[in-house]
Amino acid sequence: MANYAIIIGINHYTAPDKQGLKALKGAVNDAQKIYEWIIGPGGVPPENCRLIQSVADPLNPIKNQVDHAIADIVRMVVTKDNKNADRLYFYFAGHGMGVQIDRENNGLCMADWDEYMRDSATLSSSEYKKKFINEGLFKEVVIWLDCCRTTKLFLSPQPGPGIVPLGQNNNPRMMLAFGTEFKNEAFEAEFSIGNDLETRGVFTRVLLDGLIDLARNERGKVDANDLMDYLDFFVPRAAQQAGFSQEPEFYTNLTKVKTIMF
């Protein structure tokens, strides 16, 4: 299978005293753990994966870096796979904001976000999803977003780079999983890893546990529908144990017959 992935983890942001956002502790680590799963059991060759992790100086990533990573993937699919690849993973961990008039959309905040650049430094999850689906380059599109969806600010997040010549997949299978429900927060928490404590996003930690646990129970394969059930059950419980309230939300065109297998 020709699989590809774009993985983003952002801890570092413009400081709150400069109208930015507080730094996170677990997003970069979450992105690294997702990357390790994706290039292992996820079946994506490392050369087909773009891992984007934030740094403080110079402060990044910004929108342009994400769009260039997407363009790299598109070029490979066009040249290597004749515009007909199998699966795209798109993962984001960082600050997010809901869009008040569109519950299926969410702003994905880049490192340079501040109140003056609230739109230009924010990716539109629905516009990027449309790009991945409407281009028809992939048979399957998997989107996992571990970020808040609160609507404290009016937001008009930005679309992705323009559409290239279309592929032949007119109705790709799609799984979109938000780490939390519309207008709610997503949380980080400390988890015990051996003798150490590690800060992780609650959703991502449960997501990876589910991929591992279900694969162990189902002879190495995980049905996306079973994974959503697992997340629906265990994310609220993991959040409650950490002192929070959080439930995931899903948008998908999958059925029991028409599914995605991990």
Name the DSSP letter for residue 84: -
What pLDDT score does 80 carry?
94
DSSP states of 116-153 as a string?
GGTTTTEEEHHHHHHHHHHT--EEEEEEEEES----SS
Confidence of residue 237 (pLDDT cuts 50, 70, 90): very high
Give the span between the Cα atoms of 73 and 173, in whole angstroms. Answer: 19
Confidence of residue 1 (pLDDT cuts 50, 70, 90): low
In this structure, the chain runs to a length of 262
> In this structure, what CATH number is given to the domain that contains residue 72?
3.40.50.1460
Give the span between the Cα atoms of 92 and 124, in whole angstroms. Answer: 12
Residues forming beta bridges with residue 5, ordered by sequence position:
49, 89
Mean pLDDT, residues 226-241 taken together: 96
Which of 38-42, 83-87, 155-159, 161-165 is least confident?
Answer: 161-165
| Average pLDDT of every residue of the chain | 94
What pLDDT score does 218 carry?
65
What pLDDT score does 101 carry?
87
What pLDDT score does 11 carry?
98
Q: What's the helix, strand, coil split of the chain in %, to 5?
A: 30, 25, 40
Could you tell me which of 105, 152, 149 has the C-alpha nearest to residue 247? 149
Q: Which tokens in the block code for residue 131?
A: 């790009």
Give the span between the Cα atoms of 40 and 116, in whole angstroms. Answer: 40
pLDDT at residue 193 is higher than 80: no
Residue 261 within any structural domain of the chain: no
Residue 194 within any structural domain of the chain: no
Q: How many domains does the chain have?
A: 1
What is the residue range of 139's domain? 3-189+246-252
Residue 28 within any structural domain of the chain: yes
Residue 225 within any structural domain of the chain: no
Pairing verdict, β 96-99 and 173-178: unpaired
Residue 93 within any structural domain of the chain: yes
Helix orientation angle between 202-217 and 224-241, rounded to the nearest 10 degrees: 130
Residue 215 within any structural domain of the chain: no
pLDDT at residue 130 is higher than 80: yes
Residue 71 within any structural domain of the chain: yes
